[in-house]
Structure formats: structure tokens, C-alpha cells
Amino acid sequence: MPYISNTEKQQQEMLDAIGVKSVEDLFKPVPKDFAPASFRIPKGKSEIEVRQHLHALASKNATGLTCFLGGGFYDHFIPSAVDALVSRSEFYTAYTPYQPEISQGVLQAIYEYQTAICRLTGMDISNASIYDGGTALYEAAMMAARITKRKKIIVCEGVSLIYRTMLRSYTKNLYLNFVEVPVSPNGTADREKIFREIDKDTAAVILQNPNFFGCIDDFSDIAQKAHSAGALAVCSVYPISLGLLKPPSEMGMDIVTGEGQSLGLPLSFGGPYFGFLATTKQHVRQMPGRVVGRTHDKEGRQGFVFTLQTREQHIRREKATSNICTNSTLNTIAATIYLSLIGKNGLKEVAALCANKAGYACQKLTRIKNVKKKFAAPFFNEFVVELPIDANNAVSALIDKGFAPGLPLGRFYKGMDNCMLVAVTEKRTKEEIGHLKEALEGVLKDE
């Protein structure tokens, strides 16, 4: 039997030691009438067969497409050393580090991760991670409601539609009141409408930078307005963009979250990724999830431990700040390794490459007749183009030509049937962008 070490002889020796005849005797506490009604599971396979089967399944997926698809999840470069290091099984076969003396590796890596997130976002404190960017934003909303003891959450529609639908689902059973505010015609947060919504019952204003359409903003004025009403400002950010863009701390954000996939993790059909959550010193005790602190042993040697655990479910049970237990540690280690390899100057360069190439792609695509840039606001590495035809049709035609050209927005936003969200990372070349332009031109001509 695979993965079971004991031979039948050893099993018999153990049964003898216990003083029972058979393994069935050990299942005596289970009443007879609890036996499975059925158990139709195929016979076990060999490693060769499983490998063949999964190879066949993997090859049914298209991987040759040139990727201009983003929407919060990007095809970035991952240095080889990232996977080589997180494949160290001392990391990946460990449990949550409950015993610090034999878990300094993971604990120090988490402390380094917390440091990297703080330096990237400019915030004071980061937790040890949430599952993904969406659940991190949900935790931020809950945190804001706890801190302010208020119920109204204002969400700018520039926030990922995926995250907004998640927020709506999670709060269906709660007293929280969600108000979604459309973006202004230039693609950025609509100040007038947001300011009108901010009131004495507002717990938080939730924003995203760059927003779902790729547009860049400086939310300082919104944060200020929120604060003057006693509300918090929350922002979801794209970490790669922070190589170039103003950190959310400088805009006065109280809680900052984001999706970590772009920091060295493969797309892997949606996960596993990780979400980050950072905040100010003032709010640390309302923060969800684990956090690592630096301390020392009796001999004065530096060491790391989980700390402020009285916020957590294993101590506080129903009064905990969150129910989170398992998070995404291995992926945060991958991100820390990625950020170390890319480094201070590299991150700036990656961000600049993304922005330059996106700028070029936008220029190229909008030179096609009847293809227009949808929003006037400046963008980072993603932008919306308006086509003369339904974007779904253009996309399916371009898929046949070997591109994942972007995300059609009609399904998600009213009146945007002809719009397509195009993302460009440092991996795309001038040549590929040129080919996309030619292919799109061809598709539009055929229509």
C-alpha cells in the first residue's frame, strides 16, 4: 500500500501489544449501523499511471497563449530561485510554527515578510497573511467596522468586481450596509458622490489603486474626508505598482490590503495565492490573523515568536478578531524571496517596464481605426480599450489566433459591452504587442 510503512507482520505485533485480535476490534466504538452506504472509489493507481493521467489533463489546458489578461492576476516573471527555495521541504512540510525553537526558519521568514510589506506599503504593521486579496479586503472591512463600531461601508466601483461580489456575499448575514459608488467618467473615484455618502454611520471608504480599470489615483483627499467623519480609509493595492507609485500610507490609509500573486507566484488557475493586510500601530489589536514578533531567549539570542495571540480564535474563540487559522505562509515566503531577489532597484525596474510596455501597447492598439482608450486618467500597466464591436467576439477570435487578449467588461459593467481590459507585464515584448495589434486589426477588418 503506498505511503504506509508497516508490514502485515508489524501490524500484527502491534495488535498483539494492544491486546486485540484485529484492526476491526479497534473500530468497535463505531456502531455497526454507521457503515458506509456506499464507497465507490476506483482502485488505486501506480505513480506511472497517475503521472500519465495528469499529464494528459495538463495538456488539455492551453498554455501557449500570449497573455494580456490581468484583472488583478498577472503573468509576471518569477526567478528560478523562488521555487528552488520554497521547495525546501523543511519549509513546505512543516505545520504552523507552534514550537518556536524548531521553527525559527519560518518565523524569521514571516518577520521578514511583514517587514517587506510594511516597506512596500509604508504602513507600520503587517499581519502574517490572509488567504487572498479578496478575503484580505473583507477582513479589512470587518476590522474597520469593529474599530469604528459603525455599519456603513462605502465601496468605490473601481475596486475589483471580484472583491466587491465577495464582500457582498460575506456580509449578507451581518448588519453591515454596503454602498457602491460608480467611478467618474475619467475612470477614477468620483469624489462628489463618495463625499455625499460619507456620514456619521460610515465605518470605512474602500478604494483600490490602480483601480480595476488600471487607472491611477491619489486618494489623499478621500482619506482626509473619511477621517474628518470618524471613518477609516481602506485601500487595496497592486504590490508591483508600488515600485513606482505613491505608497498608500502617504495618502493617509488606515488599512491596506492586496493580492500577493504578482510577487513570485504562478497563476495556477486561481490559487493558492496570498492576501496581505497592513495597518497603523494604533489599530494593531484589531488586526486579524497571526503576527510574528522579534524577541530573545535567556542567553540574549534573537528569536521570533507568534505574538498578540489573544486576538486569535484558539484563545478568544467567539470573541476573536477573525476565525482565520491556516493562512498562506509558504506563499509569503515565496514573495519575500521574490522581493529579495528583485530587490530595491529591480522592483522599480519591473514597475517601469510594465508601465512603459502598457503605454506602448495602448498607443499601438488605439492607432487601429475605431479603437479608443476608454478613460482619460493615467494608468499603470492595464487599460481599457473600446472596440467598434462586442469585445466578447473580438476576444474569442483572438483566442483562436493564440492570444489571451484581455477581459471583456460587458458582463460586469453596464454599457461596456465593447470594452476590453488589457494588461501588460514585463514579460511581454515589443514584438508580441505588435502581433496583438495586427491580430486585432485583422479581426476588426473581418467583422
Partner 1 sequence: MKLIFEKGVKGRRGVKLPECDVPVKFDIPRNFHRANDAELPEVSELEVVRHYTELSRRNFGVDNNFYPLGSCTMKYNPKIDEEVCRYKGFTELHPLLPQLRHGGMLTQGALEVIYNTERLLSEITGMAEFTMQPLAGAHGELTGTMIIAAYHRDKGNKKTKIVVPDSSHGTNPASAAICGYSIVSVPSNSEGMIDYDAFVKAIDSETAAVMLTCPNTLGLFEPEIKKLAQKVHEVDGLMYCDGANMNAILGKVRPGDIGFDLMHINLHKTFATPHGGGGPGAGPVGVVEKLRKFLPISLVVKRNDGTYALDYDRPSSIGFIAPFYGNFGIILRAYCYILMLGKEGLARVSENAVLNANYIKEKLKKYYQVAHDPIACMHECVFSSVKQNKNGVHTLDIAKRLIDYGFHPPTIYFPLIVKEAIMIEPTETESKETLDAFIETMIKISQESESEPETVKSAPKTTPVSRLDEVAAAKDMDLRF
Partner 2 sequence: MVPKDLKYTEKHEWVKVAGNTATVGITDYAQHALGDITFVQLPEAGKAVKQGGELGVVESVKAASDIYSPISGTVKEANTALEAAPETINKDPYNGGWICKLEGVNASELSSLLSPEKYDELISKV
Hey, which residues between 297 and 326 contact partner 2 (CB under 8 A)? 307, 309-310, 315-316, 319
d(CA 211, CA 48): 46
Our CB check for partner 2 shows the closer of 316 and 411 to be 316
Q: Report the residue from 305, 372, 389, 401 that binds partner 1 according to the rule CB under 8 A.
A: 305
Does the footprint of partner 1 cover residue 419 (CB under 8 A)? no
d(CA 192, CA 197): 9
The nearest distance, CB 316 to partner 2, in angstroms, is: 6
Q: How many residues sit in the footprint of partner 1 (CB under 8 A)?
A: 213
d(CA 190, CA 217): 11
Our CB check for partner 2 shows the closer of 310 and 356 to be 310
Per CB under 8 A, which of residues 363..402 are in contact with partner 1? 363, 378, 380, 392-393, 395-396, 399-400
Burial 83-113 (b: 16+ CB within 10 A, else e): eebbeeeebeeeeebeebeebbebbbbbbbb
Does the footprint of partner 1 cover residue 63 (CB under 8 A)? yes
Does the footprint of partner 2 cover residue 393 (CB under 8 A)? no
The nearest distance, CB 94 to partner 2, in angstroms, is: 21
Cis peptide before 378 (omega within 30 of 0): no
Q: Report the residue from 147, 433, 439, 440 that binds partner 1 according to the rule CB under 8 A.
A: 433
Q: Report the residue from 173, 192, 415, 445 that binds partner 1 according to the rule CB under 8 A.
A: 173
Query: Residue 230 — left, alpha, or beta (φ > 0 → left; ψ -120 to 50 → alpha)?
Result: left
Our CB check for partner 2 shows the closer of 108 and 309 to be 309
Q: Report the residue from 199, 429, 438, 442 that binds partner 1 according to the rule CB under 8 A.
A: 429
Per CB under 8 A, which of residues 199..238 are in contact with partner 2? none
Our CB check for partner 2 shows the closer of 282 and 310 to be 310
Per CB under 8 A, which of residues 180..209 are in contact with partner 1? none
Quote the cell numbers at residue 9.
507482520
Our CB check for partner 1 shows the closer of 200 and 414 to be 414
d(CA 159, CA 260): 16
Stretch in the footprint of partner 1 (CB under 8 A) among 12-20, 144-152, 227-235, 438-446: 12-20
Per CB under 8 A, which of residues 147..206 are in contact with partner 2? none
Residues sharing a CB contact under 8 Å with residue 286, sequence separation 6 or more, in sequence order: 143, 146, 147, 311, 321
Tell me if residue 328 falls in helix, strand or coil.
Answer: coil
Does the footprint of partner 1 cover residue 44 (CB under 8 A)? yes
Does the footprint of partner 1 cover residue 157 (CB under 8 A)? no
Q: How many residues sit in the footprint of partner 2 (CB under 8 A)?
A: 7
DSSP-assigned beta bridge partners for residue 403: 66
- What is the edge-to-edge ordering of all strands in the sheet holding 407-408? 372-373, 382-386, 419-423, 407-408
Tell me if residue 254 falls in helix, strand or coil.
Answer: coil
Residues sharing a CB contact under 8 Å with residue 10, sequence separation 6 or more, in sequence order: none
d(CA 263, CA 180): 29
Q: What interhelical angle do 329-366 and 430-446 show, nearest 10?
A: 60
Selection from partner 2, partner 1, none that 375 binds (CB < 5 to 8 A by kind) is: none
Q: Which residues bind partner 2 (CB under 8 A)?
A: 285, 307, 309-310, 315-316, 319
